């Protein structure tokens, strides 16, 4: 019988929790990708959504789970010391459009919710000729460690933090 990898198990847990919220009408899923890169032997899964009950241009989030060949090998062929590479990397990208936003407030908001140990990065993409047009803002939250199967419950709990981030971000923009 097929033994699913850590990536498969985490993907199913995240996907199930997100689709339950979508079916319950709390969120709206806007995109989903499940990619296998045969050249690099890597897997990538992402799902994007926004709040169902939101006003105007609401922020969205993309949850991205990735597993490389090194992660898979560490899981399937354990060698002393390799267990720290078994698992997946996890990244969150919050996107919104806004002409005027206080980036320090955004930084504080995400630091308050996700804690100071997370790597939080902000990017703004805009047309330099037409500065009056709203730019696309992206806030990335990265975890500086591998996510493992033992943390499946944490992945489900993380979704509550994501929803809180979306709601509070919408109030700021």
For 113-161, the pLDDT digits (tens) are 999 999 999 999 988 887 777 889 999 999 988 999 999 999 999 999 9
Q: How many domains does the chain have?
A: 1
* 1 found inside a domain: no
Check: CB of residue 155 under 8 Å from CB of residue 147. Answer: yes
* 120 found inside a domain: yes
* 17 found inside a domain: yes
pLDDT digits over 151-168, tens only? 999 999 999 999 999 999
* 35 found inside a domain: yes
- Crossing angle for the helix pair 69-76 and 6-23, to the nearest 10 degrees: 110
* 107 found inside a domain: yes
**Residues spanned by the domain of 128:** 6-172
């Amino acid at each position: 019988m097929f033994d699913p990898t850590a990536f498969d198990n985490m993907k199913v847990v995240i996907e199930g929790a997100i689709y339950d919220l979508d079916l319950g009408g709390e969120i709206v899923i806007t995109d989903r990708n499940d990619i296998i890169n045969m050249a690099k032997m890597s897997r990538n899964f992402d799902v994007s959504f926004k709040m169902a009950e939101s006003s105007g241009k609401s922020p969205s989030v993309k949850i991205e789970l990735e597993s490389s060949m090194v992660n898979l090998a560490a899981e399937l062929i354990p060698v002393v010391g390799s267990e720290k590479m078994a698992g997946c990397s996890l990244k969150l990208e919050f996107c919104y459009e806004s002409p005027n936003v206080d980036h320090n407030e955004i930084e504080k908001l995400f630091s308050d919710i996700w804690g100071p140990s997370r790597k939080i990065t902000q990017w703004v993409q805009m047309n330099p000729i037409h500065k009056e047009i709203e730019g696309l803002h992206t806030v990335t939250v990265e975890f500086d460690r591998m996510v493992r199967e033992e943390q499946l419950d944490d992945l489900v709990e993380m979704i509550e933090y994501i929803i809180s981030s979306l709601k509070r971000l919408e109030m700021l923009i």
